[in-house]
Structure 1
Amino acid sequence: MLNVEDVFKRFEQLHSYSFATINDGYPDIRIAHFVAWDEGGLYFQTMKVKPFYKQLKETKKVAVLSLVSKNEKASHDEMGLSEFPSGFFIRLKGDVKEVDFDQLKQKAKNDSKFMPLVKDIERYPTMTTFVVHRYSGELYDFDFEKKHRDHKLERERFNFNGFDYINCGFVIQKDKCIACGSCYKACTFNAIEKGDKYYKINGSYCDECGSCYSVCPTNAVIAKTPMSEEDRNLANRMLKSYMHSNK
């Protein structure tokens, strides 16, 4: 599992990324970046005169997302579907608290990587520091064209300071699986592992796209957000028709 330093270094592969908060019931988003880390969490800064500050103080929550990939124009295949260069995104959500300036200066005495934060506040006195002190998140490494490996995804969930998280991927119920192979044929992510008595899903490869969930004849696949039976049956018919026409 990624530790705090690992998460920080992954985010730092791009200089700025998206920070989201809630403002009067609606999501708000802006570009910012983490500036330091330690055993207390991940640190970032904003100005006390900005709406970002007000929202952080009111909700004490934040979500952060960074995408690292080749800087290429969008391209499409012969069917008009998007093609994506390989890369990864990293995201987290968590609880934040403001760090007192005196506390920050004390940190800087013991850890030099906090000194730039102190200098920034001295230059811009409206600046303040927050720490994401509890969080969960995900590293989502993608190669959709399978140019560098035989599977599209490598996913890893992580957490810090006891924040709850859910493992990647759907789950096949052993007692309902009849090992018919329908899910294996439908999965384009190479996430289904064959077995004599039942199949299982490699969660780190699974995009949770719902193909296996749609085609399973015994309803053995547990989805994170189950569809209505009407929608599931419709998806079943559409996917089977597509698979038949693209044999």
Structure 2
Amino acid sequence: MEEKDILWGLTDVNTMEEIREKAFALIGKIRFMPAATVNDGQPENRILDFNRLSDGNLYFMTSKGKPTYEQLCKRPQLVLNTLIDERYSLRLSAWVSETEDQAVWDEFFKLNPGTKEMYRKNFDIVALYKLDRGEGEIFHLYANERIRRLRFAFGGDEIRSMTYRITEECVGCGVCQENCVERAIHQKEDGKYYIKEMDCDDCGICYTKCPQADTALICRLKEKGET
């Protein structure tokens, strides 16, 4: 596989909107994806049917009598993750909201006549949700080629930061580059190093090898106290 084709021709020179568009198109094509919610602090997972409508947004429907609905009322957030063609993963974390827009309902039911037939006598028992905002990633998995990842955000949210970053305290010793398994660390003209995020496995080897870890090479998890 040509390097430029690893993520459907997308690279880190593409705009975030172009990356998001590809991710949404993939979800709209796949439709049925595992989606996790939180129930009293514990994760719960199920398959939901995601539909991409003409406005470009993603929607799904659930019954108000299901635990999914109760959990979304308490915390309206979903985390999606799926495998594509045995070579790619797609992750999305999104905040959702119910929509009462009749035009959206009509279009959704046009695409899902079986669902409309199922609830024809009880439309008030179902809720239609829109994915409002969030962040995600498309990822090329290990095989013979190197990994590739591209992150995106939508609806005003921010891209999730990589776990590790090299700061201006870098002295240019090169230990991080020597130990990087994905050849994702490069040297700048000033002698300092940087991590090319698209190539980074986010594994932390560079951090464990850096003689100035926590100053020249920072772990985001430690900054947030998550370790």
TM-score of the superposed pair, with normalisation by structure 2 = 0.77
Q: 1:27 corresponds to which residue?
A: 43
Aligned partner of 2:194 among 193, 200, 225 = 200
CA distance in 2, matches of 1:24, 1:7: 30
Q: Which amino acid in 1 is paired with 2:140?
A: D
Q: Residue deviations 1:134-163, cap 9 Å, x none? A: 111111122x24x24xxx221111111101
CA distance in 2, matches of 1:68, 1:60: 26
Gaps in structure 1 of 5+ consecutive residues: 71-86, 232-247
**Percent of residue pairs identical:** 29
1:191 paired to 2:207: no
Q: Which amino acid in 2 is paired with 1:183?
A: C
Native 8 Å contact 1:141 1:155 kept in 2? yes
Q: Residue deviations 1:157-192, cap 9 Å, x none? A: 111110122344621112x22222211111101111
Q: Which amino acid in 2 is paired with 1:17?
A: M
Aligned partner of 1:226 among 219, 222, 226 = 222
CA distance in 2, matches of 1:193, 1:13: 37
User: In the TM superposition, what are the counterparts of 1:1-247 in structure 2 within 5 Å?
Assistant: 1-2=16-17, 5-12=21-28, 14-39=30-55, 41-70=57-86, 87-100=87-100, 102-105=102-105, 108=107, 115-117=110-112, 120-124=115-119, 125=122, 126-142=125-141, 144-145=142-143, 147-148=144-145, 152-168=146-162, 170-174=164-168, 176-195=169-188, 197-219=191-213, 220-226=216-222
Native 8 Å contact 1:155 1:168 kept in 2? no
Q: Which has the higher contact order (CA 8 A, sep 6+)?
A: 2
CA distance in 2, matches of 1:137, 1:31: 18
TM-score of the superposed pair, with normalisation by structure 1 = 0.71
Return closer, same or farther for 1:180/1:166 CA change in 2, 3 Å cut-off: same
SS, match of residue 226 in structure 1: helix
Native 8 Å contact 1:15 1:33 kept in 2? yes
Native 8 Å contact 2:138 2:150 kept in 1? yes
Q: Residue deviations 1:95-138, cap 9 Å, x none? A: 111122734345x3xxxx76224662343244431111111111
CA distance in 1, matches of 2:187, 2:159: 27
- Pairwise CA RMSD: 2.6
